[in-house]
Amino acid sequence: MVERLIPEWIAPTRTALLVIDMQVDFADPDGAAGSAGHDLSAIPLALANAARLAESARAVGVSVIFIRLETRAEDDSPAWIERARRRGDEPEKALALCRTGTRGAELVIAPDSASDLVITKRRYSAFVDTLLDSVLNDGGIDTLVICGLTTECCVDSTVRDAFHRDYHVFLAGDACGSYDSALHDVTLRSLDLNFAIVVRTEDVVAAWTLFINTTHEKPAEATAPSRSAR
């Protein structure tokens, strides 16, 4: 974690905020994780900080992109099904997360329909088989502030893929959540060491606040590229 976040590093003209998988199945006591008995005690703080980041981003023209997982039984990976079996799990239950059309797939933080973008994915990383990379490139974005659920899974996968695609990556650690605090902490340490700069929500908000009432340009609206993606 850096001692001081330089505002220009996350200037509005170059930056997008990615909000990863803040959905009922991962965040709500009645969702899949809660129903399975996972410890959701760290999730409310992550949600509150993510909402704060989104509000601050919109105020200065930072692009806000919600990433959501949606799955269908007919699209489940044979490799994932077999992995579940080998682990002694029931694939029908283990993979039944955020099924399309179910409440479990719903976002628990409401996007702003006038400004935010929502991108649907089928895998852990927000970059796999989606339009995300093209949207960011078309918008002139080279810097990402990332938050979401869960720290060690979809957030971790997205951070690594972003770094490998040459984005400057800032991870708002206190706006991420896990069901295991030790796993959350060690993931942040690993990502900070190799793939991202871990920052606090309050420091990101303070940096963006400096751009209020100053001249800035919002990145141009991205047009959907022609390549096939979900």
Annotated active-site residue in 121, 147, 161, 176: 121
Q: How far apart are the first and last CA of the chain?
A: 34
Is 121 annotated in the active site?
Answer: yes
Is 154 annotated in the active site?
Answer: yes
Annotated active-site residue in 98, 147, 153, 154: 154
Q: Is 26 exposed, middle or buried (0-12, 13-18, 19+ CB in 10 A)?
A: buried
pLDDT at 223 over 50: no
pLDDT in the model for residue 214: 67
Domains and CATH numbers, the chain: 7-209 (3.40.50.850)
User: If DSSP codes are grouped into helix, strand and coil, which group holds residue 168?
Assistant: strand
Is 147 annotated in the active site?
Answer: no
pTM, two decimals, is: 0.91
**Residues 6 or more apart in contact with residue 190 via CB below 8 angstroms:** none
Exposure string for 45-79, b = 16+ CB within 10 A, e = fewer = ebbebbbbbbebbbebbbbbbbbbbbbeeeebeee
Annotated active-site residue in 21, 25, 28, 133: 21
Q: What is the mean pLDDT of the chain?
A: 92
Convert the pLDDT of each residue in 166-213 to its tens digit: 999 999 999 999 999 999 999 999 999 999 999 999 999 999 999 986
Q: What is the mean pLDDT of residues 94-102?
A: 95
Q: φ, ψ for residue 164 (rounded to 5)?
A: -70, -15
